[in-house]
Amino acid sequence: MGRDPISSPRNQRVAYARSLASASVRRSERQTIIEGPAALAAAVGASADVVEVFALEGDATPDDLGLGDRAITVTRPVLEAISDTRSPRGPIAIVTIVEAGPLEQRDTLVLHEVGDPGNAGTLMRTAAAFGFQVATTPGTVDLWSPKVMRSAAGAHWATRLSSLADGIADLDAAGLAVVATAVRGGVGPNEAFATERPIALLVGNEPHGLPAHVVAASWRTLTLPMAGDVESLNVAIAGSIALYELGTRRGLGTGGSG
Amino acid sequence: MGRDPISSPRNQRVAYARSLASASVRRSERQTIIEGPAALAAAVGASADVVEVFALEGDATPDDLGLGDRAITVTRPVLEAISDTRSPRGPIAIVTIVEAGPLEQRDTLVLHEVGDPGNAGTLMRTAAAFGFQVATTPGTVDLWSPKVMRSAAGAHWATRLSSLADGIADLDAAGLAVVATAVRGGVGPNEAFATERPIALLVGNEPHGLPAHVVAASWRTLTLPMAGDVESLNVAIAGSIALYELGTRRGLGTGGSG
């Protein structure tokens, strides 16, 4: 990295990195960007394919992570041009997207038309923490967008991902028991999770939740117990609690940990 | 509202509303602002004291909520000047802050130096849903900031709030069993919640968690069980799951609901 830092946002590699802000470019190129030392360390730790790293002069992170051979030094304005955050500290890396695979026959979080990237990423993070695979319907936000990746905090590398071309029909075909979540009208966890079959837990968007026809087509509908007449929970919170409830019933264990 | 809309951001009432963006002004005036029809409806529904409402011409919300006598019509630039969001739809209302009260001897969520307004508000929302009171240490973000209020989605009107001048010493004095939360090293819920005493559940900031001296001074430390070697949960998720676990053990009931 003895050369002058790249200062032009029209540099070919910089322009390519910027183009990954577009979902359609990410899809065709099968690459996306991640930001910051923690995200980069998580990717390296999970043996993700890091293609290129843009860093400010003097940033030791690429060398520390063994990525010195793929590092490009850039000026602050160039880093800001690539980033989707306001005051990026860098580095920003181009990484290869992991292809979605077929559904496995095991407990699954299904993001059903979840449009908010923060909610989608937070739910992925919880799914990874409790050992679920993650599936998405066509209407869900691109899980590889920088905003989703930020909230997911490395979960992309720890979680199996699937796309459901035909929505919940795919879940039935895979032998999963479909459990919808709803703010009211459903049953508690004891009843909603009373099956030996792997469960596909469906979470919808905020504030609308799952469409009525999806709830009607589900095997059971889960409504978390709440105290009296209150506002509903945030969708990422409600979904995460449901994942925790199911995870502990599957042997995650609440007796002890460490 | 037959008069021309106020178009000057220097109008006295508009300037006052804008000044409430400052935490110190909110503290001295005991007023804050809320934004949008849902937040305003929640405040009215909870009999909060709505002082004044700024709305665009033709917005029926103030009249619909019985606040027509307190409504001031403003132009879009004025609404944007008052708001802390990018494209406010209005209305924006000045509301009276509810004074923090003394701690009651019951289960409590303690926000310990939680700096992120989104996490603080989301945790308040969960606490309201599961019937906890909420207490804050001096280092926690002002719960009456517009950002916290947005994430809390009306929980300010449904939850009892206390300030802990002396931190966790106040909790011991109130007879609460202090349970810290930590990513590792603690015990599971069975052990952490094994007491008839009301519990004060401490949640720290992200990414640092609770300081070691606070954990050491606690009665028990809770670590949620997770699957293998994964990233930790988001702090609002982990705190919310802990509240749910404690709530169900206190009789919230997971057998059924509706």
Instruction: Judge whether A128 is closer than 8 Å to chain B, CB to CB.
Output: yes
Calpha distance B169→B91 (Å, rounded): 42
**List of chain B residues whose C-beta atoms are within 8 Å of the C-beta of residue A208:** none
Are B252 and A131 within 8 A, CB to CB? no
List the pLDDT tens digit at each of the 258 positions of chain A.
457 899 999 999 999 999 999 999 999 999 999 999 999 999 999 999 999 999 999 999 999 999 999 999 999 999 999 998 888 989 999 999 999 999 999 999 999 999 999 999 999 999 999 999 999 999 999 999 999 999 999 999 999 999 998 888 899 999 999 999 999 899 999 999 999 999 999 999 988 899 999 999 999 999 998 876 555 899 999 999 999 999 999 987 544 333
**List of chain A residues whose C-beta atoms are within 8 Å of the C-beta of residue B188:** 253-257
Q: What is the ipTM of this complex?
A: 0.91
Calpha distance A226→A200 (Å, rounded): 23
Where is B200: in which H helix or E strand? Answer: strand B199-203
Whether residue B129 contacts residue B241, with contact meaning beta carbons closer than 8 Å, is answered with no
Q: B-contacting residues of A 55-114, CB under 8 Å?
A: none
Where is B214: in which H helix or E strand? Answer: helix B212-216
Are A227 and B186 within 8 A, CB to CB? no
Encoded amino acid at B225, one letter:
P
Minimal Cβ distance to A236: which of B237, B247, B258: B237
Instruction: Judge whether A254 is closer than 8 Å to chain B, CB to CB.
Output: yes
Instruction: Judge whether A44 is closer than 8 Å to chain B, CB to CB.
Output: no
Are B191 and A247 within 8 A, CB to CB? no
The structure's pTM equals 0.92
Return the structure tokens found at B172.
Answer: 């011991």
**Which of B132, B183, B229, B257 to mutate to test binding with chain A, by most A CBs within 10 Å of its CB?**
B257
Return the structure tokens found at B128.
Answer: 């309201």
Bond before A207 cis per omega within 30 degrees: yes
Instruction: Judge whether A41 is closer than 8 Å to chain B, CB to CB.
Output: no
Smallest Cα–Cα separation from A125: which of A252, A45, A31, A237?
A: A237
Where is A171: in which H helix or E strand? Answer: helix A168-173
